[in-house]
Amino acid sequence: MASCTSGEYEESKTKKGWVKSNKTQTTKSGIKYQVLLRKKNSNKLSSGLNVTYHQVIRNHKDSILSTTYPYGPKKQIPFEGPYFLGYYKEMFQMLSEGDSVHFTVPCNLLISKKNPQLPSFLNKNETIRYIIKVLKIESRDAIKKELEKNKQAQLEIEDKIIADYLAKNTSISPQKTPEGFYYSIDQKGAGKKPQGGDTVSVHYVGMLLDGTVFSSIQKGETFEFPLGQKPPAVIPGWEKALTLMNKGSKGTFIFPSHLAYGNKGSQDGVPPNAVVVFNVELVDVK
């Protein structure tokens, strides 16, 4: 057997309250499976619940086709959602929280009306093997509460980061808005204030707190976009920030991550959960 993915065979040691088995069984559709490790009295997967799990897929030669282990587990997928159909649903409906299971699936079961052809690297007469570790089964309410708890914790972390930044940069004396971002109008213009439906043109520089510039449009060109567009053309913080400016104004805006690029960051070099600073000039309002 080829070398194992890190974490793939954690089930090799039996812990108290767990049952270890290598017995091969077969589902109604012909999928062979082994429950390598099962936790006694654990939550069983059913409609209305979400599942978080690791998955490794290997071909008949035991080469890895895909794995979640280097990237983190699949997250909070609804069991009754479109991801779980056919043989995949049949596999998962037998699982409980903590289970470690191997499934051997004939490749011809991968063929469907939606996917009438196999990928070029698979043959319908071959099999593929799924190695699945169920990490957590939980309700939507539990997930919602956990997300809200994590969001609040992140807000508190970023409030401290912004406070430390302002303590070191005393030339900035911004106000905090109810939405949670900070702003300072450094040069007040005499023109119109934009509102939803207006098209605005701006110059701007976007920076991380260490001064690293990740995006910039300055003199010679402008960035033009409509306010209030669905989906938004800009980060959430900008939608509110620009309504605080008159045409001709220049301002500094400090956005926590939930009003900027969130927990994913951006391809421009903004890390996940990053506080960002924008220097903005409102050039025109139409």
pLDDT at 259 over 70: yes
Q: Which CATH number fits domain 10-142: 3.30.470.20, 3.30.479.30, 3.10.50.40, 3.20.20.80?
A: 3.10.50.40
pLDDT at 5 over 70: no
Q: Over the stretch 40-81, which tens digit does the pLDDT of each residue have? A: 666 677 777 888 899 999 998 889 999 999 888 886 677 765
CA distance 155 to 161: 10
Average pLDDT in the 71-100 region? Answer: 76
**Residue boundaries of the structural domains of the chain:** 10-142, 169-285
Residue 37 is predicted with a pLDDT of 78
Share of the chain above pLDDT 90, in %: 48
pLDDT at 178 over 70: yes
Residue 90 is predicted with a pLDDT of 82
Whether the CB-CB separation of 251 and 183 falls below 8 Å is answered with yes
Long-range contacts of 191-194 (CB under 8 A, 24+ apart): 191/246, 191/247, 191/248, 191/282, 191/285, 192/246, 192/247, 192/285, 193/243, 193/244, 193/245, 193/246, 193/247, 193/285, 194/227, 194/242, 194/243, 194/245, 194/247, 194/282, 194/285
CA distance 107 to 122: 7
Q: Over the stretch 223-244, which tens digit does the pLDDT of each residue have? A: 999 998 888 889 999 999 999 9
Terminal alpha carbon distance of the chain: 67
Residue 21 is predicted with a pLDDT of 60
Q: What is the mean pLDDT of the chain?
A: 86
CA distance 199 to 196: 9
Share of the chain above pLDDT 70, in %: 88
The residue ranking higher by pLDDT, 82 or 252, is 252
Residue 20 is predicted with a pLDDT of 57
Give yes or no on whether 10-142 and 169-285 have one common fold.
Answer: yes
Model confidence at 85, pLDDT cuts 50, 70, 90, reads: low
**Domain 169-285 classification at class level:** alpha beta
Residue 117 is predicted with a pLDDT of 86
pLDDT at 163 over 90: yes
The residue ranking higher by pLDDT, 83 or 177, is 177
